[in-house]
């Protein structure tokens, strides 16, 4: 079923991507659902959107997205160099003649069976069918390991024959793209940044344009960090250097995907390893020195990228505010919320009520004790404060501050965390106040007792 207004989807035309014939620059970030506890999916997606990204790149099986994020969907039989064979079932190697990632019959039969079960769960989530998936990636870096020139064409046809209608893309370096692309107008080529040096030079962008010819340029994997191996140091990439490289990509008019935006954790035995030259097992943490930490906390990279993206995003006119779409009741006199003729005569149970009137002359506004909860008063949209001091003086005598301090006085509170905590944010503030008698010097502390026990004797 096609949705109205979603006919063409994402297209690769000439030097730019188009989404329904409108220019669309992909600002993407990678997150892998299997490296993030399900309870945190929404939190990480909201943080991605708040950073200014418009596209999520993820692996097979992830369906949960934040409103406003498009999705690059990877069917990924092979993930990357550190996940070389994890997602291929081990029983494939029971065949002594097995040739992985080729058109070997034993392998294609397994792929067909996998697609027959996977695609019915995915096709309805495509953009043209009303979902968030705007593109699907055919394999990953296949050209760098290519063994079978017919393999990519087979995979492409396997997707198309199962009702995949969105743009098909692939990702590789220069040499890999020359060996691992598929001819056809529905496939565009994107390149990744090569090497752990992080240096994205003009020559790299030129190479990308040469490979893509008359197609959009996209850095499919800009490495925001790198994973760690047992026995080695924690890899850290400088935030300012990363920002400069990303800015260079955007100035060149290219799209970009940050790998990783959030790394997460290699749970269980799913850590993988590097196999080039020396075998290096990857640690359990997949922090990756990414834009968000392994725990999902913000980093300097996050705030620098958000500032950069915010300078590029076009601000659109906001939808009408809530007040303009609410039901209006006209009355000569104020009506309390319970007696408002709304909700089928049931009045208003909770929330706010906005009272408006036109005042033709000056004067004093009195509440006459009608306000039993809370009220905000605005004059010509500007907030008007109450005359508070006279009320305070009328309530009780106001004593002068004595010359000598009476005290000291210490005030302490304990924060009780119930149930299973998820992401908890503490805003510690120093509140200075005086009772009837106060001194000239106030001592305070803002240290939180996080799980510690204090014994008072």
Show which residues are catalytic: 141, 221
Q: Do residues 292 and 298 lie in contact, with contact meaning Cβ atoms separated by under 8 Å? A: yes
The answer to whether residues 265 and 254 touch, using CB atoms and an 8 Å cutoff, is no
CB neighbours of residue 75 within 10 Å: 22
405 contacts 440 by C-beta, under 8 angstroms: yes
**Taking a C-beta distance cutoff of 8 angstroms, is the pair 296, 43 a contact?**
yes
Alpha helix positions (H), 222-294? 239-251
Burial 296-321 (b: 16+ CB within 10 A, else e): beebebbebbbebbeeeeeeeeeeee
CB neighbours of residue 455 within 10 Å:
4
C-beta atoms surrounding 239 within 10 Å: 18
- Candidates 137, 209, 160, 151; CA nearest to 179 is 151
Tokens of 405: 């301090």
> Closest Cα partner for 24 from 234, 254, 225, 326?
254
């Amino acid at each position: 079923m096609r949705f109205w207004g979603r006919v063409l989807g994402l297209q690769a035309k000439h030097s730019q991507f188009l989404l329904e014939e409108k220019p669309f620059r992909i600002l993407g970030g990678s997150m892998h659902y299997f490296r993030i506890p399900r309870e945190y999916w929404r939190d990480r997606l909201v943080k991605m959107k708040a950073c200014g990204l418009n596209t999520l790149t993820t692996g097979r099986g992830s369906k949960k997205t934040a409103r406003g994020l498009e999705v690059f969907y990877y069917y990924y039989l092979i993930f990357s160099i550190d996940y070389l064979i994890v997602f291929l079932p081990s029983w494939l190697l029971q065949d002594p003649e097995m040739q992985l990632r080729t058109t070997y019959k034993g392998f294609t039969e397994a792929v067909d069976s996998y697609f027959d079960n996977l695609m019915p769960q995915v096709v309805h989530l495509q953009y043209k069918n009303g979902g968030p998936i705007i593109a699907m990636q055919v394999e990953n870096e296949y050209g760098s390991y290519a063994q079978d020139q017919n393999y990519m064409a087979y995979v492409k046809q396997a997707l198309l024959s199962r009702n995949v209608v969105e743009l098909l893309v692939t990702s590789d370096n220069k040499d890999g793209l020359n060996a691992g692309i598929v001819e056809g107008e529905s496939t565009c080529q994107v390149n990744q940044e090569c090497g752990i040096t992080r240096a994205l030079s003009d020559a790299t962008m030129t190479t990308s344009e040469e490979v893509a010819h008359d197609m959009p340029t996209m850095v499919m994997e800009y490495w925001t960090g790198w994973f760690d191996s047992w026995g080695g140091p924690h890899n850290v990439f400088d935030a300012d250097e990363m920002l400069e490289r990303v800015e260079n990509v955007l100035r060149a008019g290219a799209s970009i995907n940050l790998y990783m935006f959030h790394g997460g954790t290699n749970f269980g035995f799913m850590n993988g390893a590097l196999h080039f030259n020396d075998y290096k097992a990857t640690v359990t943490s997949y922090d990756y020195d990414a834009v968000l930490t392994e725990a999902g906390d913000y980093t300097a990279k996050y705030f620098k990228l958000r500032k950069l993206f915010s300078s590029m995003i076009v601000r659109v006119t906001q939808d009408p505010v809530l007040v303009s779409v609410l039901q209006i009741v006209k009355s000569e006199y104020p009506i309390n919320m319970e007696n408002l003729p709304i909700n089928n005569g049931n009045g208003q149970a909770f929330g706010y009520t906005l009272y408006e009137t036109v005042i033709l002359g000056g004067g004093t506004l009195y509440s006459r004790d009608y306000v039993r909860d809370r009220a905000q008063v605005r004059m010509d949209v500007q907030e008007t404060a109450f005359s508070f001091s006279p009320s305070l003086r009328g309530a009780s005598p106001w004593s002068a501050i004595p010359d000598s301090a009476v005290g000291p006085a210490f005030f302490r509170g304990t924060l009780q965390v119930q149930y299973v905590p998820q992401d908890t944010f503490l805003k510690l503030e120093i509140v200075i106040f005086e009772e009837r008698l106060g001194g000239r010097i106030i001592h305070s502390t803002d240290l939180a007792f996080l799980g510690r026990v204090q014994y008072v004797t």
